[in-house]
Amino acid sequence: MALIVQKYGGTSVADAEKIRNVARRVTRVKDEGKQVVVVVSAMGDTTDNLIKLAYQVNEQPGDRELDVLLSTGELVSSTLLALALESLGYKAVSLTGAQAGIHTDSSYSRARILRINPKRVVNELEKGNIVIVAGFQGVNQEMDITTLGRGGSDTTAVALAASLNAEMCQIYTDVDGVYTADPRLVPSARKLKEIGYEEMLELASSGASVMHNRAVELGAVYNVPILVLSSFSDSPGTIIRKEVSMEVRNKVRGIAYDTNVSKVTIVGVPDHPGIAAAIFEPLARANINIDNIVQNASIDNITDLTFTVARGDLIKAMSIVEPVVKSVGGTQCVADSTSAKVSIVGTGIQNAPGYAARMFRTLYEQGINIQLITTSEMRITCIISEDRVKDAIQALHQAFELEKVQP
Amino acid sequence: MALIVQKYGGTSVADAEKIRNVARRVTRVKDEGKQVVVVVSAMGDTTDNLIKLAYQVNEQPGDRELDVLLSTGELVSSTLLALALESLGYKAVSLTGAQAGIHTDSSYSRARILRINPKRVVNELEKGNIVIVAGFQGVNQEMDITTLGRGGSDTTAVALAASLNAEMCQIYTDVDGVYTADPRLVPSARKLKEIGYEEMLELASSGASVMHNRAVELGAVYNVPILVLSSFSDSPGTIIRKEVSMEVRNKVRGIAYDTNVSKVTIVGVPDHPGIAAAIFEPLARANINIDNIVQNASIDNITDLTFTVARGDLIKAMSIVEPVVKSVGGTQCVADSTSAKVSIVGTGIQNAPGYAARMFRTLYEQGINIQLITTSEMRITCIISEDRVKDAIQALHQAFELEKVQP
């Protein structure tokens, strides 16, 4: 029998009325004669409130206890959804992460799923139950509760869909799909009917926050089609799946931006082997994620080096880099938090001529200065001044004709 | 190493400040060089709020889901207490009912403990941890979460104390011990230093609500000394244990009352075999608990029959009894909710002369009419008018000299 896995986020189950609404949506799939597994997040701001409580009794709460504490949020929402389904006359059963067979490593607060033993889920489905699984959690070898960290419930849903060989994993959220650009900034932005896994990953890591990358990666590995859609409307959503019509369509699939960017420029560094390692190794040890690194061509063996970090990491990054720069004989170290990233994303755009050039020309015609350029297999990113982001993405959206429906 | 099991009720862990207070209390035992297992209830009115949520999504919530939902309350308080202990520099670990090896039958919402496998608890104690166990819950054979119903966390604590061979089970609550009578009604009421299991059971079922009988019964079976004391003061509490000095002390140990009493009197019933069964069997089937039954001596083969039920059951009881009375040819059926029970409790008072007589005389001297009398091995109960309860227990307290310290 065909099986659908659905996942509902915290805003979709924020109160009793919304939970009843989700229940009605779940029954539609059941009424089509399909089996349904539903993964839920904690209600609204439950998780934040639990974290607040933990900090009231301990300024540095330990991960093991925090994980048990936070896992209760999903238990509450999963039982309430099961109860709501029962009140509509459907058979439903809620399962904890442990009961659903979600086995993880012991990295509390950011556990990785090692394997899923879906025996209990399958049994309950065979009994005719709609199965509700508490998202975001699993158990380690000692049967201690772990949580999966950011994007956890999405990951639970896609992993379950993979292990159950589901037809599709539907991610219900508060946006109704993936757009060619942020519709709040680009009124002509168009919702994509479909997008490839890798394109979605690039869009997300370039700032489009629809789903956490972890779940998309898992979908790509196990080839699980992921449908992103809204629990508050009936609009059709966007399906994330293996590229099918790569050659015929517009290669630019979307435009993303990210304003959580700080730029660090190191001026006058002697250009000899080992200099990059000397700078970036201590940053890695401090767990600071470096986003883009650009090194200018060297003149007289002196070069400039620029990289970007998240704004929250800037002070820490500067405190690490400044002594290093001094010790290697660099001139100075300049921090700048007025920049933002703008990216065009699409499979193969790096190898196709003209995309980069068109992007640069478009920004030039808007009078927007490009501070840095980085590219990947399917992304071209420019760092520009933050106050020009809106102009940039509107112009790029038009230049790449994203408002037009693609085949 | 000596081991103490402590249990803290919902009011003792109602907020972060109170949880930190409980943590300090727990560490005192640890500092004495003893091992500690702590059982906690859900914070304050958590359980009520979860029940409210359940009824918002389903007017008749199913027991299985409700049990998972309610069990989260104890998970939250147990992790918070573990975190609070860690912040005081102590090693602590919280365990769910399942992890603590508490195996129950599958009677959701009122599960009975079948056995305890304390392996994990013992392991954690041996690692030097203070072990916090979520009260009120266990797992059935399918590893589904069950809850133990009323008095559940007390039962968890005493059962763990029995299976771990603890020196003592300490029940921290919002009263500081067991009194000779309700101190709100009898200012001279005295806190008992100790009381026998059976006396405690009679006191509790006669209206003194310190602990649920279930936990006391378990303590009696496994001979676990139970210390009842307040988490808000340092007063010494009352220890419930096997009778030790039965012969020398005053046999009346306490006076209890219960105003949750309705009286049903069936007048003019033909006195022939099977009549009692005809009346009480349908009440039992309807799950109505009958408290006292008195049948008057029969005159001309016609008798009167009186019994008491909890006030909440009165309407249901009358609707069942009235047609039965009609069918057996009874005259009428009278309900009365203006009565209350007053009891004197003490081991062996039924077999010792004079206790009953002194009780009846005392009530007579107060001008209090006795509507019904029932007795058990260690209890004499009179049903009187509810508005005379205070006079009755004050007079009885004085008549049996309960304000005097006993040997």
Residue B346 lies in a domain: no
Are the beta carbons of A75 and B76 separated by less than 8 Å? no
Q: Choose the closest CB to B65 out of A59, A68, A83.
A: A83
Q: Which of A153, A174, A195 is the last residue of a domain?
A: A174
Q: How many domains does chain A have?
A: 2
Q: Can you tell me the mean pLDDT for A278-288?
A: 83
B170 shares its domain with B268: no
pLDDT at A378: 81
Model confidence at A250, pLDDT cuts 50, 70, 90, reads low
Checking if the pLDDT of B407 tops 60, the result is no
Checking if the pLDDT of A249 tops 70, the result is no
Query: Which residues from B are below 8 Å from A57, CB to CB?
Result: 16, 19-20, 23, 80-81, 83-84, 87
Query: Which residues from A are below 8 Å from B64, CB to CB?
Result: 93
The pLDDT > 90 percentage for chain A reads: 58
Are B16 and A43 within 8 A, CB to CB? no
Residue A399 lies in a domain: no
A interface with B, Cβ–Cβ < 8 A, is 16, 19-20, 23, 50, 53-54, 56-62, 64-66, 68-69, 71-72, 75-76, 78-84, 86-87, 92-94, 96, 98-99, 143-145
Query: Which residues from B are below 8 Å from A101, CB to CB?
Result: none
CATH number of the domain where residue B331 is located: 3.30.2130.10
- How high is the mean pLDDT of chain A? 90
B22 shares its domain with B166: yes
Are the beta carbons of B53 and A82 separated by less than 8 Å? no
Mutate to test the interface with B, among A38, A65, A146 (most CBs of B within 10 A): A65
Model confidence at A207, pLDDT cuts 50, 70, 90, reads confident
Residue A209 lies in a domain: no
User: How distant is the alpha carbon of residue A152 from its chain centre?
Assistant: 10
A146 shares its domain with A22: yes
A157 shares its domain with A288: no
pLDDT tens, B147-198? 998 789 999 999 999 999 999 999 998 888 999 998 889 999 999 998 989 8
ipTM attached to this prediction: 0.75
Residue B165 lies in a domain: yes
CATH number of the domain where residue B64 is located: 3.40.1160.10
Checking if the pLDDT of A4 tops 90, the result is yes
pLDDT tens, A111-137? 999 999 999 999 999 999 999 999 999
Amino acid at A365: E
Residues in chain B: 407
> Which of A367-376, B137-146, B331-340 has the weakest average pLDDT?
A367-376
pLDDT at B248: 47
CA nearest A72 in B: which residue? B72
Are A363 and A341 within 8 A, CB to CB? no
Query: Which residues from B are below 8 Å from A38, CB to CB?
Result: none
Model confidence at B277, pLDDT cuts 50, 70, 90, reads confident
CA of B228 to nearest chain A CA: how many angstroms apart? 26
Alpha-carbon distance values, A209 to A175, A201, B142, B151 (Å) = 10, 10, 40, 48
Are the beta carbons of B83 and A62 separated by less than 8 Å? yes
The pLDDT > 70 percentage for chain A reads: 97
Instruction: Please name every residue paired with A4 in a beta bridge, in sequence order, or none if there are none.
Output: A36, A168
Are the beta carbons of B68 and A56 separated by less than 8 Å? no
By residue range, what is the domain housing residue B119?
Answer: 3-174
CA pair distance B367, B317, nearest whole angstrom: 31
CA of A256 to nearest chain B CA: how many angstroms apart? 39
A31 shares its domain with A147: yes
Query: Which residues from A are below 8 Å from B92, CB to CB?
Result: 65
Model confidence at A244, pLDDT cuts 50, 70, 90, reads low
pLDDT tens, B31-79? 999 999 999 999 998 999 999 999 999 999 999 999 999 999 999 999 9
Q: Which of A336, A365, A382 is the last residue of a domain?
A: A336
Please give, one letter per residue, the 3-state secondary structure of chain B. Answer: CCEEEEEECHHHHCCHHHHHHHHHHHHHHHHCCCEEEEEECCCCCHHHHHHHHHHHHCCCCCHHHHHHHHHHHHHHHHHHHHHHHHHCCCCEEEECCCCCCEEECCCCCCCCEEEECCHHHHHHHHCCCEEEEECCEEECCCCCEEECCCCHHHHHHHHHHHHCCCCEEEEEECCCCCECCCCCCCCCCCECCEECHHHHHHHHHCCCCCCCHHHHHHHHHHCCCEEEEECCCCCCCEEECCCCCCCCCCCCCEEEEECCCEEEEEEEEECCCCHHHHHHHHHHHCCCCEEEEEECCCECCEEEEEEEECHHHHHHHHHHHHHHHHHCCCCEEEEECCEEEEEEECCCCCCCCCHHHHHHHHHHHCCCCCCEEEEECCEEEEEEEHHHHHHHHHHHHHHCCCCCCCC
Are A40 and A7 within 8 A, CB to CB? yes
Tokens of B222: 């496994």
A-B contacts (CB, under 8 Å):
114
CA nearest B66 in A: which residue? A79
Q: Can you tell me the mean pLDDT for B79-96?
A: 97
Residue A397 lies in a domain: no
Are the beta carbons of B79 and A68 separated by less than 8 Å? yes
Supply φ then ψ for residue B187, to 5 degrees: -60, -30
Residue whose tokens read 């109860």: A83
pLDDT tens, B6-34? 999 999 999 999 999 999 999 999 999 99
User: How distant is the alpha carbon of residue A63 from its chain centre?
Assistant: 23
A11 shares its domain with A153: yes
Q: Can you tell me the mean pLDDT for B255-279?
A: 85
pLDDT at A288: 83
The pLDDT > 90 percentage for chain B reads: 59
CA pair distance B67, A391, nearest whole angstrom: 55
Q: Which of A295, A317, A336 is the last residue of a domain?
A: A336
B27 shares its domain with B170: yes
> Which of A73-82, A249-258, A340-349 has the weakest average pLDDT?
A249-258
Q: Choose the closest CB to B75 out of A57, A72, A78.
A: A72
Residue A37 lies in a domain: yes
A12 shares its domain with A147: yes
B11 shares its domain with B150: yes
Checking if the pLDDT of A88 tops 50, the result is yes
Residue A229 lies in a domain: no
B274 shares its domain with B148: no
Residue A235 lies in a domain: no
Are the beta carbons of A83 and B61 separated by less than 8 Å? yes
Q: Which of the two residues, A369 and B296, has the higher pLDDT score?
A: A369
Residue whose tokens read 């290697």: A328
Are the beta carbons of A54 and B20 separated by less than 8 Å? no
CA pair distance B79, B96, nearest whole angstrom: 10
pLDDT at B351: 67
CA nearest A66 in B: which residue? B79
pLDDT at A233: 87
A167 shares its domain with A266: no
B22 shares its domain with B144: yes
